[in-house]
A and B are shown apart, each in its own frame.
Chain A
Amino acid sequence: MPEEGLLGRIYKDDEIIVKEGMQSRTMYVVQSGKVKIVKSDGDKEIILAVLNEGDIFGEMSLFDASPRSASVKAIGEARVLAIEHEGLLKRITMDPTLAFRIIKQMSQRIRNLNSKLSTAMRTITQVNNKLLLLNSENVTFRDRETKSSHVIDNIAQIQKELHKCNELFIQNESL
């Protein structure tokens, strides 16, 4: 592919395009390759979404001036076109339909979030039920040896589910 005809900017594998916490109002469109939206959780990195050619990111900055809620990094080599904020706002005042595709993508993300949220709610209810059960088992506790291993198993499972839940909440927070 001749390098001459490439629009935008090329980012190398794992290079940061948008940095979490930074103040910026630029929006982006992926021209080629893939990018990942990541959120740091301590020293771990949680991948919230992978975006492909044609996908838009950073669109929330069009509507508010909050710092970036997640980082965006290239997966392999990715080419990305930046959309200038002030120019776009001026165009949208002339032609509001320009925002349609952005709104469509946002509403798709809200749908995805809703389904993730309901999964998270289900998990919480299950965990809650298990805790209640454990509590009642503790009250009628007779055979200490066998029951204690059962309790440990349950706690491990609860921990796992709470962790899953936490990840879902982090995603909700950042998208």
Chain B
Amino acid sequence: MKSAKNSPLKDGARVAIIGGGPAGSFFSIFASKLAKDLGRRLDITIYERKTFVNQGAAGCNMCAGVVSESLVQLLALEGINLPPSVVQSGIESYHFHTQNGNVRIKSSRLQQRGIATIYRGGGPKGSIEKGIQSFDDFLLHKAVECGAKVEHIIVDEIRMERDKPVLYSRGKMLHDCDLLVGASGVKASTGEMYEKLGTGYKAPSIIKAMQSEIEMGNNWISSQFAHSIHIFLLHIPRIKFVSIIPKGDFITISILGKEPDAGCTKVFLSHPEMRKMLPPGFKIPEKFCHCFPKINVGAARKPFAHRLVFVGDASSARLYKDGIGSSYITSKAAAHTALLYGIGEEDFKEHYLPACETLNRDNLFGQFLFHVNDLISTISPLSRGYFKIIQQEQKNLQKDAHYSDILWDMFTGSRFYKNIFIRALNPLPIIRLLLAGSASSLRKVFFSHQ
């Protein structure tokens, strides 16, 4: 008979984690560390179908590969320092390319290379770079150092037998466990497998994105993209948003839009604003490493049950931002619940669900802020005013950096959306923006009549 509450994971308890991406590794690391502090030992197995050492999509967890400023700092505090073999580029600024011109934004708070660009697998197909260690492989090794075992195997069936989850792969029983952790991202077939358990879990809603890896050589990338992530907000048909992330010899082009396809990358590379940044004589390659990963844009329903908890993308993630940081938050909250409170449905509801709800609520503020941002960009005088203010602020960050910091925090994910929302409501800067917008339209009217 399953009880709503259950005791915490005991000494020697068996934990099975499906998925060795960031969420699975984080759960394993934090559960092992806390268990050690409590004088317990856990028997953790991570089931992961990939190895993260092969080049191309097959060995990769496919994302833009930006580890946010806040996550870099949190990991350092946890004693997880990202080594240069994992960090492809240390980022210190964001460079916005808009209809009104370009502006480079730095944080007014810290002057350092505080954001990391990383690969989620063994690097792009055809890359000859040596010594790349993927972020996922690095974290998985950390989990193993903390005591976890890793089995490179796909889990395709789960059954509840004698009150415990039992895992199967291709008809063969793997083992039963005291706690099952679903850290399998947004893979559709795995999501369906969980839904079939009938616990009320519903996989998150998703949208498709497009990613391409284009080789340009380290020297060119260092000179053109130097320690900066480039964001393009250019009103190109079918393309809503493009980011370029420098990584050694390659740039990662990440596109959000209406059903993006490989053609979108070619259209984007041919845009005059982008052409300026390409090496002389650059020809768009016929073939390049690309993929169509899915982004979690709506939280999973009921990400927990008796002896079962979902973390990372399989649960809740921050909207368009810091998905790896969200995995850190949900995995840590779930690990602490399982060790300190219990592994029953009520335990997760009481102690784990609030962490997911914080992210979900915050995403509502995020949605609103992105709408406002879109709105500003469609009203020309306002967007010109906004752009001018940011340019001025960047000249003297110590004096005033209100809008720069808002933009920085929105795009880097350094602050929660709610915090940004509250700052955005400050009336004085709003008046300043409206004045700048009016001045810009007056200037336009005046000069067009001369």
| Contact among A4, A53, A56, A98 for B218, CB-based, below 8 A | A4
Q: What chain B residues lie within 8 Å of A56 (beta carbons)?
A: 77
Closest CB of chain A to B24's CB: distance in Å?
Answer: 19
| Contact among A2, A53, A87, A94 for B84, CB-based, below 8 A | A2
Judge if B141 is at the interface, Cβ distance under 8 Å: no
| Number of B residues, CB within 8 Å of A | 41
| Contact among B70, B72, B86 for A91, CB-based, below 8 A | B70
Judge if A175 is at the interface, Cβ distance under 8 Å: no
| B-contact bits for A115-140, CB 8 A (1 contact / 0 none) | 00000000000000000000000000
| Contact among A5, A90, A95, A97 for B85, CB-based, below 8 A | A5
| B-contact bits for A1-26, CB 8 A (1 contact / 0 none) | 11011111100000000000000001
| Contact among B90, B110, B218 for A6, CB-based, below 8 A | B90
| Contact among B77, B111, B222, B419 for A29, CB-based, below 8 A | B77
CA distance A29 to B72 in the complex (A): 11
Question: Are B110 and A84 interface neighbours, CB within 8 A?
Answer: yes
| Number of A residues, CB within 8 Å of B | 30
| Contact among A5, A8, A82, A95 for B88, CB-based, below 8 A | A5
Residue from the set B34, B37, B70, B419 with the largest chain A CB neighbour count within 10 Å: B70
Judge if A54 is at the interface, Cβ distance under 8 Å: yes
Closest CB of chain B to A35's CB: distance in Å?
Answer: 14
Known: A29-B76, A53-B81, A84-B73. A7 touches B358 (CB 8 A): no
Q: What chain A residues lie within 8 Å of B298 (beta carbons)?
A: none
Question: Are A5 and B76 interface neighbours, CB within 8 A?
Answer: no
CA distance A125 to B37 in the complex (A): 39
B394-450 interface with A by 8 A CB criterion: 414-416, 419
B55-111 interface with A by 8 A CB criterion: 69-70, 72-74, 76-79, 81-82, 84-90, 109-111
| Contact among A2, A7, A54 for B113, CB-based, below 8 A | A7
Question: Are A83 and B248 interface neighbours, CB within 8 A?
Answer: no
Q: What chain B residues lie within 8 Å of A91 (beta carbons)?
A: 70, 74
Known: A81-B72, A87-B70. A5 touches B87 (CB 8 A): yes
Judge if B159 is at the interface, Cβ distance under 8 Å: no
Question: Are B248 and A7 interface neighbours, CB within 8 A?
Answer: no
Judge if B388 is at the interface, Cβ distance under 8 Å: no
Judge if A101 is at the interface, Cβ distance under 8 Å: yes
Question: Are B84 and A5 interface neighbours, CB within 8 A?
Answer: yes
Question: Are A29 and B81 interface neighbours, CB within 8 A?
Answer: yes
Judge if B230 is at the interface, Cβ distance under 8 Å: no
CA distance A102 to B79 in the complex (A): 10
| A-contact bits for B358-384, CB 8 A (1 contact / 0 none) | 100000000000000000000000000
Closest CB of chain B to A70's CB: distance in Å?
Answer: 21
Question: Are B70 and A8 interface neighbours, CB within 8 A?
Answer: no
Residue from the set B72, B76, B111, B333 with the largest chain A CB neighbour count within 10 Å: B76
Across the interface, name the chain A residue whose C-beta is closest to B37.
A100
Known: A81-B72, A101-B78. A5 touches B112 (CB 8 A): no
Across the interface, name the chain B residue whose C-beta is closest to A86.
B109
Across the interface, name the chain B residue whose C-beta is closest to A85.
B109
Q: What chain B residues lie within 8 Å of A6 (beta carbons)?
A: 84, 87, 90, 113
Known: A9-B112, A9-B113, A90-B419. A98 touches B77 (CB 8 A): yes
A22-72 interface with B by 8 A CB criterion: 26, 29, 31, 53-54, 56
On A, residues with C-beta under 8 Å from B are: 1-2, 4-9, 26, 29, 31, 53-54, 56, 81-84, 86-88, 90-91, 94-95, 97-98, 100-102
7 A-B residue contacts at CB 8 Å? Answer: A6-B87, A8-B112, A31-B81, A81-B73, A82-B112, A95-B332, A102-B77
